[in-house]
Structure 1
């Protein structure tokens, strides 16, 4: 095909000027000086991510970072996310180490450029969209992209909405798949940690052939891999709950003092005639179920949790191409992925009676026959004395339902995708591409749960005259009710446990569907004084749809947990786009001077018409030095989840700053604003003080969810850089690029308490529209819907140094240094909120680099990679009264090392044996218990998605080709 969509790794490296280091195969030949000069004299027309124009040179106007198939081999990656997130341009996305507490997203792997979020990173496959891996979003689960099929990955950071559409505010990650393979290659790999746990298995087969005289080709891939996960109790740092249970002065404590008060034996409180309980439990049980006074032993939740969730994947992919004529190619790409993952959480904790965050409002009646005899005696004595204040009207409880149900959930995901179309060229250099993409993502999640009404029935037990203990309700007994004994560990019978469980699992069935039809044409309508004028024009139609269906009990709030409504929504968009590449000067005083521009007009069914554009310039004063710059005005349309998530009611505690205001006081600085509300002023005049009863405070509800009135996010991005590739030093290249991104009208939720406070202080409708007061001036409803309210600003400098050179006949050395310095990453949650500087926090280190040195001699290749994270703090806003804890917030710099040895026979496909060690020096993660470090990943006692929680890891693999 004249439209060359593939090229060698070397060409990709020159285009980007900043390829990530590879361990090249022994058979790969370096071009001679003559060949290199010829490539400069007669370069191919190629398409690079960031533009749709095939350019007659080997330089991109935007910085493109390229990872080739050999880089992936040098990383021994089975999941491409592991390789990409080593690049300093990537922040933390969803990973296997931070998704244990997600309901439907555990084990999902997403990408996050510039720490601006997965929804602002557009992921493409062969330049086309891929179905999202989370309900109602655009974030792609890269688990579904086969590492074996990847020829290279091109990453462009900065606004690219004018070229690719919405979601590209932070940039684009484009996976270029191989389109021609001869023969069959089988690879198998085994990974294990230094502790002998978290084994990972991989086996895959990739093959292909050509037919009809090379007019057609077919390639296919099938692989299976399994990551068994890692339990929190398998590492010393996280084998026990940690925190500050005795206050800041006591420092961090790990062990029983930090365990959850919801123990399997229960903590029990006497309920008085006012329907209240004391601040500490009245009785509990020891490990032998002997009755004790006060609080019993807690529960070590970390003994049950995962550091890394297990993920099992079966992946199949195929690509077929056929030249219908010399200028017309038919192609089809198909992918199917089956992924299974699960979380592991401790058994559910249930609060019964008038306790904060209660699940069952009903108390345990004082005539319950399971109440221990000694407690029955206390109840009888206190209820028969002359003081009614001593009376006990019921028993409240906090207990972990170990015998009853497990909160863990299982996910079963299926992804189907097909991309097909026609591409070719005509009229001596014009290229066209017509394509259709269909994608579908299905995720079925289920977990055990219990029915609130059944728990209430089972707790209300009586003893019959026969001595049998049964449920009090005759109707409940007819439905199978068995009495539930919670007094002590392991006391709930199998019959009672089975009864209170839901007949069907708590479930969530998600379906995302995507249709994309696109057509584009590119070429040169005229040759100008400085070269060909390049243009690209196109149209695209896209439709996205999501349905997330919860089980009926969850919809009604009858299961343990919050009321959750179903998510159902869709949108479509039709877009027209164009690009131009205008050469101004060529070989006249300077080597080259040119301008570029792009525009895209998008008409959404949800938000209407939006426009994005960019403009750039490139200047090459002489061979070996090139300057480039692009300014872009980008946008992101709200996704289905943000638009259509139904409002779910919440009664979370809200404090009215006006509570306690009098005619003259000024509590918290809100006095005047409160008295300005007529109903509050009238109440003060009548009663002296504006106040709430307990029931009035508890009745303030609110709705949290999506918002169909959202608008698009907007972003302004600037990239300025230089590429140095001196002819005097063949194989050497250096790029330096400055970037600046500002996102405005970012979609976020205002805190309900923030809305109440800021409405009083500012009167801004942004806040006041969420606050509804009754005719008496008291709060009735405070909502927390999504709105366009936040701002993000980031800026930094990227640099890449690469040297790749042959030494003698069979030796080769390759070195890369990929560096990023973050100047700032500032976020502001709303106009009244403080601006928070995130640069220098964990996962957002100010300085990051990855470097790799590879040396090949004959059939042997050795590579050494180092990844650096500069010193950081867990949180830039962290405060604590204990200086030792404050010191823990300061994280030193981290330097990880990985090594690989590889032995190749033939071109690497005939036979390749390799092995390696990751985290060679067994660098331990920082100790950051949660609490007080809320950014720490629950169950890991560190920020496990930033710092390696596994320790030293080994792998060995073999590839056989025939």
Structure 2
């Protein structure tokens, strides 16, 4: 569709939904900065611009989350407040990172559902060190909630003002700096299910010092702990579920007691398992399968200790020294079911499985083996025992993660001649993440399974004398709880990953007036910045060698530097004339020189127009960019999913086949020889498919992502309705050259059809011509676009029931108009509007999201009611449930209805004593998440629902704040 026509259509659609904004049951946290009237003529800097101005107006939309709003939420983690904004997606949370190999319990912010790496996070207007391996995403766990003065959220491309990563916008945490006195807070929370306990202790103090109070220091110390929730403690997630087995638990065929298969040259001879008394059971009854959710977590326990400070000292009339140190320690632990261990993980090169001479084989099974191996038909001979068994007694895949973050921001700021001011700053940040778990050593496991009875001692030992000398202890897998502690200790090896991120930022900027125009003073901001980023990931030797169960992982080390210059101008064009109370022009540009992608240019331009007092119109166009992060550039090709979904175009090729691809296929070394040995045609077996893998790695040739962002809107603050404001802003973000991986099938197909080395170098084949490995390295191939309209309404009115009491309403609502992606050139358009998040897709595309907060304030007493609305949505737009008796039920699950969450809080301030008491209930009506079991694209493992929905249920909290 034509670019301009498309936006006109979107704007008309937005007008049609305007009345919906007034009927929302959703919740609001903040009001647009435009609605606030300035308390003084002091100049301030609003996020989205570096120019200090004597008002709170901005050409781009800003939402402000105040410290009061944060306090009303009762949240100990600021992520829980931000994720309720309709412009913010879920990101990484305590409730969706249980299966992560690192970063468990992390907290990210994801503006516009475009990914945390496209959202720039600042603290006091400066960058914060990344909290995850090789990325730019910041872990919000490092930001103390009680030390936040406000959070300013700007959506839309802001790269010209702040640099890379600001494609979807900026989240700027402004910390308290002029705090006086000492305040202590303690809070306790618990769910209606007597779990998910939360403790918080926080102390904030501040004091002026030195001659004429030249210096000031504010410090916060916070410790909080959240205990997490087990999957088995919620009815929805108590058992494994799958859409493929409606009404029946989807238990795993990898059981704790083992599932064993006697194998012959012709296939399976006998499957057997054990009952709960460890009696042999032939076959595998479903009731003896394994409930994985019994050993999983919905939400991870997270414990945080944070120390932050804001200090400054005025050296003279033109220079003030500032110092902002931060230290945090965050610990978390994942709880996963024991590993689904399969014989093929340790037996390679065609070995048929566990030796039939294993000394622990039960007598009844030994009789079956002996009978088949002693008859006259060699084809009946059992050659090995293939098995699948949970490693409950060996190790459970849980991990312990500890992240420590240090950051210092320091420098000098002050005034120059006239109305000019400056700032020189240096930021150093470092994050070290240590995650420890366990794995098995495949070589030792093979030795431990090859057991015999020692004729000299009549004890079961490992067959290999060298292994015995090295401490080998035989392992018994036959039945429940049969593995001894000694044999577990022999096969277990420590597994770890150590992540180290480092950031340094040198900045210099100045802002001030150039000259006066009839409408006002032309203002300019200029500056330069130099940034250094480094990240390393060090895996344990077993994982490096690929000798464990988690796949091979190579270490990562990468770094880049970038030097930048930037400028911004604000030009007042008209003021105080008919039909133009004010008209102003804003523009910014930034040139960046990266050591990786070279030079990039970002810029934006906008207009502010106030035809009459109380009505403001604004428009802004930006071209932003995001440089590839270290992981995208330098991650080694490793890991990888099973390639069972990849079909070799050469499957079916023979010496005489005439398909278009066959001539190319016949030229592949070894292929015709393999075909001749198998009836003349290349044919893939289940074994071939099992050993085919899809892997992914970084690409040092990546270019930057580029984005075009358009915002158009207005603010209405009528003088005849004091305390009222309303704003509506249309946004459109289009990303070109987005970084993504080509699907493995496309890589293989295009290699055969085009012979292009770009594709063929990514395809590795066995000597027999069959596919072995497909490397889907990252490339600049995707296009992404999202658009919508943000509505913001606020009203405050003095009620008059008591002296000075008031009632206030704040509403935020986002109507999403489009959300689509083209994964690569020639790929079909992926529509995400109205569809939940799934791996490989964009974030969830709610057409309607909103929230509203109603607050009654009577001085010492206050009460607030918040409602959060998630609109109706589908798991998949393009899915038709399979025909059968459950088709209608599955279609019903695929369509998720509107969901409302209600939160309530009351406060009472004993002002003379300095004591404040508060209590609240979140998810007041105990709304359970919609059932989306395994098989649905948005399923979160262990939660049985999508990540957007509250998995905890009703929660209570109470706290006390004391001001000294």
Q: Shift of the alpha carbon at 1:913?
A: 0.5
Matched with 2:333 is: 342
Matched with 2:15 is: none
TM-score normalised over the length of structure 1: 0.91
**What secondary structure is seen at the aligned counterpart in 2 of 1:381?**
helix
**CA gap 1:594/1:361 in 2 versus in 1, 3 angstroms:** farther
**What secondary structure is seen at the aligned counterpart in 1 of 2:443?**
helix
The answer on 1:411 being equivalent to 2:401 is yes
Matched with 2:763 is: 771
Matched with 1:461 is: 451
* 2:30–2:63 contact (8 Å) kept in structure 1: no
Deviations 1:578-621 (CA, angstroms, capped at 9, x unpaired) = 01111111112211112111110101111111111111111111
Matched with 1:572 is: 561
Question: How many Å separate the matches in 1 of 2:114 and 2:468?
Answer: 55
Question: How many Å separate the matches in 1 of 2:326 and 2:586?
Answer: 35
Deviations 1:339-367 (CA, angstroms, capped at 9, x unpaired) = 10000001122111599x98996622112
Question: How many Å separate the matches in 2 of 1:701 and 1:351?
Answer: 17
**What secondary structure is seen at the aligned counterpart in 2 of 1:282?**
strand
Q: Shift of the alpha carbon at 1:559?
A: 2.6
**What secondary structure is seen at the aligned counterpart in 2 of 1:162?**
helix
Deviations 1:668-708 (CA, angstroms, capped at 9, x unpaired) = xxx31343556269978996965146577666566521111
* 2:30–2:810 contact (8 Å) kept in structure 1: no
Q: Shift of the alpha carbon at 1:774?
A: 8.3
Question: Aligned ranges for residues 755-766 of structure 1 at < 5 Å?
Answer: 755-760=747-752
Q: List runs of 5+ in structure 2 lacking aligned partners.
A: 1-25, 837-843
The answer on 1:488 being equivalent to 2:476 is no
* 1:655–1:697 contact (8 Å) kept in structure 2: no
Q: Shift of the alpha carbon at 1:391?
A: 0.7
Deviations 1:314-372 (CA, angstroms, capped at 9, x unpaired) = 111111111111232110001110110000001122111599x9899662211212111
Matched with 2:14 is: none
Matched with 1:240 is: 239
Number of equivalenced pairs: 912
Matched with 1:551 is: 540
**What secondary structure is seen at the aligned counterpart in 2 of 1:94?**
coil
**What secondary structure is seen at the aligned counterpart in 1 of 2:661?**
helix
Q: 1:936 aligns with which of 931, 935, 939?
A: 939
Relative to structure 2, which stretch is displaced further, 674-683 or 122-131? 674-683
Q: Shift of the alpha carbon at 1:768?
A: 4.7
Q: Shift of the alpha carbon at 1:662?
A: 5.4
Matched with 1:811 is: 805
Q: Shift of the alpha carbon at 1:780?
A: 5.7
* 1:928–1:942 contact (8 Å) kept in structure 2: yes
Matched with 1:950 is: 952
Matched with 2:170 is: 172
Q: 2:114 aligns with which of 113, 116, 123?
A: 116
The answer on 1:328 being equivalent to 2:319 is yes
Q: 1:784 aligns with which of 756, 761, 776?
A: 776
Matched with 1:367 is: 357
Question: Aligned ranges for residues 368-387 of structure 1 at < 5 Å?
Answer: 368-387=358-377
Q: 2:129 aligns with which of 110, 128, 131?
A: 131
**What secondary structure is seen at the aligned counterpart in 1 of 2:660?**
helix
Question: Aligned ranges for residues 10-89 of structure 1 at < 5 Å?
Answer: 43-89=41-87
* 1:748–1:790 contact (8 Å) kept in structure 2: yes
Deviations 1:840-864 (CA, angstroms, capped at 9, x unpaired) = 1234311011100101113110111
The answer on 1:913 being equivalent to 2:911 is no
Q: 1:286 aligns with which of 275, 278, 284?
A: 275
Matched with 1:895 is: 900
**What secondary structure is seen at the aligned counterpart in 1 of 2:440?**
coil
Question: How many Å separate the matches in 2 of 1:521 and 1:409?
Answer: 48
* 1:158–1:717 contact (8 Å) kept in structure 2: yes
Q: 2:660 aligns with which of 668, 672, 685?
A: 672
Question: Aligned ranges for residues 92-491 of structure 1 at < 5 Å?
Answer: 92-212=90-210, 213-244=212-243, 248=244, 251-255=245-249, 258-273=250-265, 276-277=267-268, 282-296=271-285, 297-353=288-344, 363-466=353-456, 467-491=458-482
**What secondary structure is seen at the aligned counterpart in 2 of 1:601?**
strand
Q: 1:507 aligns with which of 496, 507, 515?
A: 496
Q: List runs of 5+ in structure 1 lacking aligned partners.
A: 1-18, 25-32
**CA gap 1:470/1:919 in 2 versus in 1, 3 angstroms:** same
Q: Shift of the alpha carbon at 1:819?
A: 0.5
**CA gap 1:841/1:781 in 2 versus in 1, 3 angstroms:** closer
Deviations 1:898-950 (CA, angstroms, capped at 9, x unpaired) = 1110001339x9221000111111111101111x213210011111x211111
Question: How many Å separate the matches in 2 of 1:73 and 1:557?
Answer: 48
Question: How many Å separate the matches in 1 of 2:350 and 2:595?
Answer: 44
Question: How many Å separate the matches in 2 of 1:796 and 1:762?
Answer: 40
Question: Aligned ranges for residues 447-846 of structure 1 at < 5 Å?
Answer: 447-466=437-456, 467-502=458-493, 505-589=494-578, 590-648=580-638, 652-653=642-643, 654-661=646-653, 671-675=659-663, 679=667, 690-692=681-683, 694=685, 703-760=695-752, 767-771=759-763, 779=771, 781-808=773-800, 809-842=803-836, 843-846=844-847
Q: Shift of the alpha carbon at 1:652?
A: 3.2
* 2:257–2:390 contact (8 Å) kept in structure 1: yes
Question: How many Å separate the matches in 2 of 1:238 and 1:126?
Answer: 41
Relative to structure 2, which stretch is displaced further, 815-824 or 680-689? 680-689
**CA gap 1:745/1:354 in 2 versus in 1, 3 angstroms:** closer
* 1:157–1:172 contact (8 Å) kept in structure 2: yes
TM-score normalised over the length of structure 2: 0.91
Deviations 1:504-552 (CA, angstroms, capped at 9, x unpaired) = x201111100000000001111112221111110000000111111112
Question: How many Å separate the matches in 1 of 2:351 and 2:512?
Answer: 71
The answer on 1:849 being equivalent to 2:837 is no
Matched with 1:27 is: none
Question: How many Å separate the matches in 2 of 1:765 and 1:683?
Answer: 19
**What secondary structure is seen at the aligned counterpart in 2 of 1:71?**
helix
RMSD, aligned CA: 2.6
Deviations 1:174-225 (CA, angstroms, capped at 9, x unpaired) = 0011111111100000111111111111011111111122211111111110
**CA gap 1:596/1:135 in 2 versus in 1, 3 angstroms:** same
Deviations 1:371-428 (CA, angstroms, capped at 9, x unpaired) = 1111111111111112111110111111111111120011011010010011111212
* 2:345–2:442 contact (8 Å) kept in structure 1: no
Question: How many Å separate the matches in 2 of 1:152 and 1:701?
Answer: 48
**CA gap 1:830/1:64 in 2 versus in 1, 3 angstroms:** same
Matched with 1:924 is: 928
Matched with 2:961 is: 959
Question: How many Å separate the matches in 2 of 1:651 and 1:520?
Answer: 48
Question: How many Å separate the matches in 2 of 1:20 and 1:397?
Answer: 53
Matched with 1:6 is: none
Question: How many Å separate the matches in 1 of 2:539 and 2:101?
Answer: 12
Q: Shift of the alpha carbon at 1:749?
A: 1.4
**CA gap 1:519/1:651 in 2 versus in 1, 3 angstroms:** closer
**What secondary structure is seen at the aligned counterpart in 1 of 2:711?**
strand
Q: Shift of the alpha carbon at 1:473?
A: 0.4
* 1:22–1:74 contact (8 Å) kept in structure 2: no
